[in-house]
Structure 1
Amino acid sequence: MELPVTTFWPSNVSVDAPTTASIYMTTIPVSPPTYTYKVTENSIACLIIEGRFQLIVSYMKWDNGIAKKIVDVPESSNVRVTGSCADEQDITSSLTITTEHAEIRSLTFNFQIIEGISYLVSLSAEVNVKMFPDVMLNPYPKCRYRTESI
């Protein structure tokens, strides 16, 4: 047995007539700019990396909490790029982006050529902890570090 559907409207509620304006808005995502980083030897670019790079850095805060921060690699006009090119004797190449006064001190890409194709084999980064105001600089204050030369 079907029950009748009854709608009750309180007397203090008004209902507006529908409008023809759409409530949906279309936004076109804007692509972030890309930057070009080059290693050159004898005025010829042998290694070119193009893109926009970000790192997610996890670190311990002074209150023993864990924080994460997204860090942008600065644009190519504000960095120094160094590296090495592969040749017939050495099948490895590298590109290092070095910055001053930024959250990232350096970012190094290491490549190896296998059967004519260059593969990324490692990536390393050094961050500037002074740019993280709540970082715990020494999480183990009772430990002493000792270095020895070989």
Structure 2
Amino acid sequence: MHHFEKFSAKGNEFLKDLAQEIGEPENREKAYRVLRTVLHVLRRRLSLDESFDLLAQLPMCIKAVYVDGWKPALFPDKSIKTIEDFIHEVLEEDKRSAGKDFGNEEHAKQVIKAVFRVLKKHVTEGEIEDIIGDLPKHLKELFAD
């Protein structure tokens, strides 16, 4: 049982950090929805190898969020080239709650960047650099502070 509590604690810490980053420290449900949505779009854009490398560093509970419903593809979705493309995919992924969770495109960009800031806190710098290296030029800005 001790391991489950440890896994749960790390997942809760991740969500708490994200809730804080999006400016809603008491709303872990929203933090969960936002995280799930952004990770699902990110995994479509990353190479399979990079997805597995990222997955290896995520807390156990967050790994479950990442892989939920995943049908791994051999090649990344190259149609997601720009920040606007990424935002569009995020809003499509979260159709039911998109307005409430992401608002307009500018607010969505800020929420997506918040997810990436939290990822940077919980994943090694080398892995973040690898993820950035795997993204097209116009998406790298999402990882900028």
Give the TM-score, by structure 1 length: 0.20
Normalised TM-score (structure 2): 0.20
Look at both structures and tell me which one has the larger radius of gyration over its CA atoms: 1
